[in-house]
Amino acid sequence: MRCPFCAHDDTQVVETRESDEGGVIRRRRRCLKCDKRFTTYERAEIVLPAVVKKDGSRADFDRDKLRASMQLALRKRPVSTEQVDAAVERIQDELLAAAAREVPSARIGELVMRELERLDKVAYVRFASVYRSFEDVDEFRQLIRDI
């Protein structure tokens, strides 16, 4: 690790601690040249697949955007933040387990609908009606019958 003060390449780890419930390792280091101390943080880097949109463009997976779309469908519904966080985590875990470099946005939409159907039927219908772009009332009725 290079010293941020003098750019010397040789530093010594003085102290190591886990923080953030084990998700991050904090290290206190000392430069062997200038003797100044500094802190570094080490965490696992999770590489999620790129999202391929309907128009063919690609975007980075955005967990916050996923959570926001779910919360919009769940607005004024009796579902806790913890339940939403767990659903987002399950979706992210499934994407990681697939080990694909890219995932179509339609796949993410299907995963969101599956989780919303588990959490709250009304939120599921809200999301599905927008996601599937219903053209008429009959499509909407069919979705409700399927539930």
Q: Are the CB atoms for 6 and 34 separated by under 8 Å?
A: yes
Residues 70 and 92 in one domain: yes
Could you give the angle at the alpha carbon of 108 between the alpha carbons of 105 and 111, nearest 5°? Answer: 155
Surface-to-core class of residue 90, CB atoms within 10 Å of its CB (0-12 exposed, 13-18 middle, 19+ buried): middle
pLDDT confidence tier of residue 146, bands split at 50, 70 and 90:
confident
Asked whether residue 3 is assigned to any structural domain, the reply reads no
pTM to 2 decimals? 0.62
Residues 88 and 125 in one domain: yes
Q: Give tens-digit pLDDT for 127-145.
A: 887 776 666 667 667 767 7
pLDDT of 55 above 70: yes
Least confidently predicted of 19-23, 24-28, 42-46: 19-23
Asked whether residue 2 is assigned to any structural domain, the reply reads no
Q: Are the CB atoms for 80 and 87 separated by under 8 Å?
A: no
**% pLDDT > 90, the chain:** 56
